[in-house]
Chains A and B, each alone.
Chain A
Amino acid sequence: MVKSSKTRTGSRKPVAKPAGNNRQDHLWSLGPPVEILRPDGRTVAKEEPDIAADDLLKMYRWMVNGRVFDERALKLQRQGRLGTYAPLSGQEAAQVGSAYALEQRDWLFPSFREHLALAVRGQSWSGILLYHGGSEEGGRVPEGINNFTPSIPIATQILHAVGVAWAAKLRGDPIVTLVYFGDGGTSEGDFHEGMNFAGVFQTPTIFFCQNNQYAISLPRARQTRAETLAQKAIAYGFEGVQVDGNDLLAVYQTTRQAMEKARQGGGPTLIEALTYRLGPHTTADDPTRYRQDEELQHWQERDPLIRMRLYLERRGDWDEARETALWEEAKADIAQSVTAYEQAPARDVEEIFKYTYAEMPWNLQEQLADLRAYLQESGGQLPE
C-alpha cells in the first residue's frame, strides 16, 4: 500500500492520494513544514490563527523568561556557581508552543534541555537550577505537575511516555503524553521501539522532536539519510509532521491538533520541529569546532523571539515600553530564583541513600551508618 515511499523521499511535492483509501490519507499527507508566522512577523496566510491574545502574550512572556534564564544559567556556570548546563536558546518557540498547548492533566517527558517547557508547566526555575547545581532535589517535581524527571540517556524517555499513555488508555483516562527528544535521538533503538509500540497500541502520545540541527558536533544530515525526521512516522503507521520550530504559533497549533487527535483516540503523532541550538550543546562544548559563523548568523536572524515580538507589534498588542518592562521583570524574577537556588538548605548525606528503595535495606543502612561514623571521626565533614 505504501507505494509512494519512492516518490516521497525524492520530492517535496504533494503526492496524489490513492483513491478509495481515506483511512490512511494522512500517511501520504506529509507536506512542507507547517508555517504560520514568517521571520518578519507577518502571517503566511491572510487569516489570523485562532489563538486568544492573552495566550499569545503569556507564551511570549515565557519565551523571554526562558531566554533570560538561559543566559543567566550560562553565566552561573562560567562563574562556577552551576554545574554542566545544556542551553536552550533558539528553541524557545519549540518548547513554549508545545508545552503550553498541553492541558494540566497531560504528562510531559523532558530529556535534559527542556528547562523552559518544565517551567511553562509550573516547575520553579530555582528547582531547575538545583538539578544543574548537582542536587537531586532538582529532580523532585511537585505533586500536581505531571512532568516526568529529566532523562539524560538519549531517547530512553520515549518509552516511558508511551508507557504512561498506554496505562492511561487502559484505565480510560483521557490524558495525552508528550515526549521531547532531539534529532540525534532518532538514531537510537529506543526511539524506534517506542514509535512502534505507540503505533501498534495507538497510544495517545506526541513524539516531539526538537530538530536543532546538531547532536553535539554531528549535523542532522549525518544523523540519517532520510529527507525528514517526520517521515519516520510513516513506517510506524501514524502521522508525521514537520513544523517550523521557531514559529511559536505553528508549534502551538500543531501540538494542539496532535493533542486533540490523541485525546479523541486518534493515536500518536510525530512532530518534527525545525529549530536551531544557538548555543553550545552543553557548557562543556565548543561549537566553533564544527559550525560556521554564517550558519549561526542565518539562524540568529530567525530568532523565535524576534519573530513573535514583531507579530505582537503588528497586531497592536505590543510596544517598546512593554518590551522593556517585560525583560526587566523577567530578569528580576530569574534573579530571585537564583537567590532561592543559592540559599537552598545544605543537604545531609542521607540524601545519597534515601529513595533508593521505599524502605532502606540493611546494606544501605550499614553503609550510611559507616559514612556517618567516618564523618564524625573527621569532625563532621570530609577532611580536606
Chain B
Amino acid sequence: MAHLNLVQAVNQALLTEMARDERVLVLGEDVGLDGGVFRATEGLYEKFGPQRAIDTPLAEAGIVGTAIGMAVYGLRPVCELQFDGFMLPAFDQILSHASRLRGRSRGRFQVPLVIRAPYGGGIRALEHHSESPEQFYVHIPGLKVVIPATPADAKGLLISAIRDPDPVVFLEPKRLYRAFRQEVPEGDHAIPLGQARVARAGRDVTLIGWGAQVHTALQAAELLAAQEGISVEVLDLRTLSPLDLETISQSVEKTGRVVIAQEAPRSFGFSSELTALITERLFLHLEGPVVRVTGFDTAMPYFSLEQYYLPDVGRVARGVRQTLSA
C-alpha cells in the first residue's frame, strides 16, 4: 500500500491502466511534457511516450470530439479538461455525441471514454476555475457521473471508469487534491461504479455528500456527536449517475431524516433530484422535510467571498439541527 494524496492516486490509476491496457491513452492540454497543471499525468509522457500522453492544441471541443472518435475506434481515451469551467465548450460534443453514439448506432459503436476534470471551489482560484457542474451531466442520459472523495476511491473509481464501456464524466474535487494522504492499494484496485459508501455510520440523521462536501459532512458529524450527542450517518455517493438508491433507502429508512450538502448552486441542482427521489420513494419514512445545504443561485464568487458560498461545517451542522427540529 502506498501513502498517497488524491491527485497522486489519480496518477496511479492512470499509470496502472496504461501499463495494463495498451489501448488506454491520455490527451489534453499540458498533460504530456508538463505533466498536467495539477500534475495528475506526471511521468506518463516519460513512461509511455508522446503517442499515449498526448499534448493537444487548446480546444476542449477538439479534445473531447476527437477522443469520441478514438473511443469508437477501440481505444480507451482519458481526456483531461483543465478546469470545470472549461468543460463547457465541449458540452455539445458530450451531450449530443458521447452520450448518444451507442444509442444512435444501436450498439454498433460505443464510447468507452473518460472525461476527467478538476472541479469545485476552495482553492482561491480565478473565475471559471471553481465551478461544480455535476448537475449538467447528471441530466444527460447515457453518461455516468463519478466523483471520488478520497485517494483510495479516486484510484478505484477511475480504474472502473476507464474500464467502463460507456462515457464517464469523472470530476475530481481539486480542493482535496493535496488535502490529505491515505493508504491506497497498489496495482489493480477497482471500485464498482454505482455504489455509495457509508462514510460514517449513525442513527439519527442521514447526511449525504459527494466530493469535498463529504469531508465537511464528516467534520459536522463529528462536531454534532461530540457536542450534542447527535448520531449522523454520512453517505458518500461516489457515483451520482447512476445513483445508488438502495444505500440511500437503507439509511433513510433507519434515520427518517435527511440533509444534503452540495457545493453547486441550489436550484435545479443534484440535491433537488435527491430530494425529489427521497420524497417520492421514502415518503412514509420521512419525519421531516429534506434539508438542502448548498451553494447559492449566483455565479461562484471570487475567492474573497467563496468561503461564504461553500457550505462549511457550521452550515451543514445547522442543517442537521434544522431537520431534527422539524
Contacts and interface: CB of A to CB of B under 8 A. Distances in A.
A153 B88 contact: yes
Contact of A367 (B59, B297, B299, B312): B297
Given A83-B126, A216-B30, A374-B315, A363 B267 contact: yes
A351 interface: yes
Nearest to B65: A189
B296 A352 contact: yes
Given A187-B57, A223-B58, A134 B302 contact: yes
B189 interface: no
A377 interface: yes
Interface in B28-70: 29-30, 32-35, 37, 55-62
Interface in B75-130: 85-86, 88-89, 124-129
Interface in A221-243: 222-224
Contact of B124 (A83, A112, A138, A150): A83
A135 B303 CA distance: 7
A218 B55 contact: yes
A310 interface: no
A15 interface: no
Interface string B260-273: 00000011000000
Contact of A383 (B129, B297, B314): B314
Contact of B57 (A135, A223, A284, A378): A223
Contact of A187 (B35, B62, B126, B297): B62
Contacts of B88: 153
Contact of A134 (B33, B303, B318): B303
B313 interface: yes
Contact of A347 (B61, B86, B296, B304): B304
Interface residues of B, number: 45
B299 A154 contact: no
Interface in B291-326: 296-299, 301-309, 312-315, 318
Nearest to A85: B126
Interface of A: 83-84, 112, 131-136, 138, 150, 152-154, 184-185, 187-190, 215-218, 222-224, 284-285, 289-290, 347, 349, 351-353, 356, 363-364, 367-368, 371, 374-375, 377-378, 382-383
Interface of B: 29-30, 32-35, 37, 55-62, 85-86, 88-89, 124-129, 266-267, 296-299, 301-309, 312-315, 318
30 contacts: A83-B124, A131-B302, A133-B304, A134-B124, A136-B302, A152-B85, A152-B127, A153-B89, A187-B62, A188-B60, A189-B89, A190-B89, A216-B30, A222-B57, A223-B58, A284-B37, A289-B35, A352-B308, A353-B296, A356-B299, A363-B266, A363-B267, A364-B296, A367-B296, A371-B308, A374-B315, A374-B318, A382-B308, A382-B312, A383-B313
